[in-house]
Amino acid sequence: MPIAEQTSPRVSSSSCSVALDLTWVRSQFPALAQSANGQPAVFLDGPGGTQVPQRVIDAIADYLARNNANTGGAYQTSRNTDRMIAEARSAMGDFLNCDADEIVFGPNMTTLTFAMSRALGRELGPGDEIVLTLLDHDANFSPWKALEEKGVTVRTVKFNEADCTLDMDDLAAQIGKRTRLIAVGYASNAVGTINNVAEVVRLARQVGALSYIDAVHYAPHGSIDVRALDCDFLVCSTYKFFGPHMGVLYGKREHLKRLRPYKVRPNTDNIPNCWEWGTLNHECIAGIKACVDYWEELGRRVETGLAPSETRQAASLQEDRAQSSVTRRDAILAAHEAAHQHERAMTEKMIAGLLAIPGLKLYGISDPRGFDHRCATFVVRVEGHTPLELATKLGERGFFTWDGNYYALNLTEQLDVERLGGFLRIGLVHYNTMEEVERLLGTLTEICGVARRS
């Protein structure tokens, strides 16, 4: 089906059209003011990990300075730690639109997914099937593929090589009455394709299979609503959306309660803690709360329509909350919508500019009619240059990009670029600017021109 005819996979309930206050946004991120080799640093490495607002740094430092303790103790700092973790869970619940006890914290998405695949694997064996996709990051592939050891059959879904969209016909064909789980990415961390995950969940439900959504790459680019999606599990990593290095798993309460995690005996049987092993990274959990606060404040500024030059009426986020009927969830949705509009405009400029560079091949959706189905993540190859050479030359000029496969190994293998060093990846998030896009395009054109002449 042509991209333009597909239903939009975006899940967004806000219709805000207020421009992002980029001056305020950028002032929140101290790292963005850095330079590299005498040039302003341009962070185009968001898909590998985004920068953090000052409030995240402050929250981490403050926790370590004042409340550093283990959980469950009968004293002040331990109680403060318990309270802080509960607040962070509730904040992530609003970010994903679920209840706090459906939020599991872990070191990263990969570890959480191995934990869940092992727990689900206890119930699976010969005759059971799992459906995976070749578009996914390996963290949503290998943990499930490992269940072949238990006799489970793994089926893989192809993607369309022309535009790197998931082959939904193949997906439907791989699903059958033996399917127990479908694991699919919300968005590709390489080619940027946004998958129609609502449809995948629907197909899974039709045969009584569980759905496991990897939203790691999607989370900085679009709002997530696990209730509207009705997915069984969804995972993301806070370091990809302006928080610290941690992973978060949403699981429907009924599954978190029924499934049996591998765990130590003294650990509680209560959810969600029974899924959280050992001592968590408390300081980073404090940072997660601050990260959601950032999204909320961004959204409240959007909701109140403040122009860059205007000062806010309220002195703090707490006052904003007290004075406004806008909920945290509403504010997060407004922030996502404003970020999306800005990223969309940058995507149009970036793709038009990349396609004009002689010898450059862009992989993924390039037709503007399909832009609702991609995020601002671009992979390219340029004749006469390896991706590593390009990333190195860009890095010397202050542009932080990435090269290789970014663990989207099935994709680079199928496109036969794995043996050639993969792709150069350029990733935009909402703190990037049009001016940065223009400078990147100019510099890349110059580098490629030099390569062709020499």
Ligand X SMILES: Cc1ncc(COP(=O)(O)O)c(C=O)c1O
By CB under 6 A, name the binding residues for ligand X: 108-110, 137, 139-140, 185, 189, 214, 216-217, 237, 247
Residue 296 CB, shortest distance to ligand X, in Å, is 23
**Residue 260 Cα distances to 86, 106, 117, 146, 233, angstroms:** 23, 17, 11, 18, 15
CA distance 56 to 402: 25
Q: Kindly state the helix (H) or strand (E) to which residue 402 belongs, with its residue range.
A: strand 402-404
CB 188 within 8 A of CB 408: yes
> What residue type is assigned to position 243 of the chain?
G
State the sign of the Cα–Cα–Cα–Cα dihedral 423, 429, 434, 440.
negative
Residue 236 or 338 with smaller CB distance to ligand X: 236
CA distance 16 to 306: 13
> Can you say how many angstroms the Cα of residue 369 is from the centroid of all Cα atoms in its chain?
23
Residue 186 or 294 with smaller CB distance to ligand X: 186
Residue 24 or 114 with smaller CB distance to ligand X: 114
Residue 413 CB, shortest distance to ligand X, in Å, is 17
> Phi first, then psi: what are they for 40, rounded to 5°?
-60, 135
> What residue type is assigned to position 89 of the chain?
R
CB 136 within 8 A of CB 183: yes
CA distance 141 to 135: 10
Residue 375 CB, shortest distance to ligand X, in Å, is 11
CB 29 within 8 A of CB 291: no
What the block records as the tokens of 104 is 């599991």
Residue 218 CB, shortest distance to ligand X, in Å, is 8
**Residue 84 Cα distances to 32, 283, 288, 293, angstroms:** 28, 10, 10, 13
Closest Cα to residue 430, out of 336, 350, 301? 336
CA distance 333 to 339: 10
Residue 216 CB, shortest distance to ligand X, in Å, is 4
Residue 139 or 351 with smaller CB distance to ligand X: 139
Residue 158 or 245 with smaller CB distance to ligand X: 245
**Residue 370 Cα distances to 152, 252, 374, angstroms:** 36, 32, 7
Residue 124 CB, shortest distance to ligand X, in Å, is 22
Residue 237 CB, shortest distance to ligand X, in Å, is 3
Residue 200 CB, shortest distance to ligand X, in Å, is 15
Residue 130 CB, shortest distance to ligand X, in Å, is 17
Residue 144 CB, shortest distance to ligand X, in Å, is 13
Residue 189 or 412 with smaller CB distance to ligand X: 189
Q: Residue 272: is the preceding peptide bond cis (ω within 30°)?
A: yes
Pairing state of beta strands 35-36 and 39-40?
antiparallel
Rounded to 5°, angle at Cα 17 from 303 and 437: 110
Residue 137 CB, shortest distance to ligand X, in Å, is 3
Residue 14 or 237 with smaller CB distance to ligand X: 237
Residue 88, SS3?
A: helix
Residue 216 or 390 with smaller CB distance to ligand X: 216
Residue 428 or 441 with smaller CB distance to ligand X: 428
Residue 77 or 108 with smaller CB distance to ligand X: 108
State the sign of the Cα–Cα–Cα–Cα dihedral 276, 282, 284, 289.
positive
Residue 191 CB, shortest distance to ligand X, in Å, is 11
What the block records as the tokens of 336 is 């996502």
CA distance 357 to 350: 11
Residue 137 or 385 with smaller CB distance to ligand X: 137
Residue 49 or 353 with smaller CB distance to ligand X: 49
